[in-house]
Amino acid sequence: MSTRRRFRPSESWILEERIALSTAAVADVASAATAARNLQLTFQGTFVTVPPRGIGGGETTSLGGTARLPRVGMIKLEGALQSNASLAPQFSNVKGGLIITVPRRTGSAFLSISGPASDLSPTRFSAIPISFQVKSATGVFASFASAHGTGTLVLHSRPVGSPGGLISGRFTLRLVDA
């Protein structure tokens, strides 16, 4: 029959010191994640708005642009927004989705956009207040998962006369995490 021996470590370690070290590391990771979530982006690019195809129709605006994200570089934005001024005010709001990607790197983010009823086909200039929520984020955008906030979409249209009745021009989209 073997004798039972008591475990005796060769060095004395105080458990409290080990716990304090591990929580310090967790605090560093948490503060880094909070800093990463401090989202402030300004996208610039072009837009094309397709006017309604008849009475009661809505307009759709396609956006394509870029921004610079610290420690990542140039990121791309593509998506579409819809608005239908012929509906009742509670249903005529601006809504849509935008996809953000990084060329030659993995990861993407999908943003759900909403805002008050606005003119997506301005004759010269339109500033639209919006709110956004990151619905999904992978890769380099993983730290922004479930982020939400506000922003402003500014549309500067070219002179009217575009082919097919399309309204096109340049946009600036500023997003700020709440």
What residue ranges do the domains of the chain occupy?
40-177
Among residues 174, 128, 126, 172, the alpha carbon closest in space to that of 149 is found at 174
Residue written as token pair 């200039």? 125
CATH topology for the 40-177 domain: AOC barrel-like (2.40.350)
Whether pTM exceeds 0.85: no
Tokens at residue 153, please? 């979409």
Cα separation of 139 and 128, whole Å? 30
User: What average pLDDT does this structure show over 124-135?
Assistant: 93
pLDDT at 149 over 70: yes
The answer for residues whose C-beta is within 8 angstroms of residue 18's C-beta and 6 or more apart is none
